[in-house]
């Protein structure tokens, strides 16, 4: 089993799956942009509804929901940062045989899979 893994060409894997890694990288970038926008937008809508209702209880509930959304957004952001840091370290560790092509595609450093 180890001989099979040792003989597997990681360069071929990264070249063959380049488009998938690039798509995942694009999705991560979109998530990093969309989450703060959604938090602000949904928080504004919730607080606006609560203020227009004029009920102090609804205003406090909307504030609590906004705080929870901010916490969730920060958590997602840090999970993405931690995962990218780990994969960045692993991907850049072995650059002698170009096995870092997967990481470069994921991070957007390379423009084509060749």
Tens-digit pLDDT profile for residues 8-57: 565 677 778 888 888 988 998 898 889 889 998 998 998 889 889 888 89
Tens-digit pLDDT profile for residues 46-76: 888 988 988 889 889 999 999 999 998 899 8
Structure tokens at 44: 């504004």
Nearest to 18 by CA among 92, 102, 84: 102
Do 79 and 32 contact (CB within 8 A), yes or no?
Answer: no
Rounded to two decimals, the pTM is 0.66
d(CA 6, CA 28): 30
């Amino acid at each position: 089993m180890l001989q099979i893994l040792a003989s597997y060409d990681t360069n071929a894997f990264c070249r063959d799956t380049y488009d998938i890694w690039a798509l995942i990288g694009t999705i991560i970038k979109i998530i990093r942009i969309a989450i703060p926008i959604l938090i602000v937008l949904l928080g504004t809508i919730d607080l606006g509804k609560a203020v227009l209702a004029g009920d102090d209880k609804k205003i406090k509930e909307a504030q609590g929901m906004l705080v929870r959304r901010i916490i969730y957004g920060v958590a997602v952001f840090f999970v993405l940062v931690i995962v990218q840091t780990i994969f960045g370290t692993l991907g850049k560790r072995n650059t002698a045989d170009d096995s870092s092509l997967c990481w470069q595609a994921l991070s957007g450093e390379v423009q084509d899979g060749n």
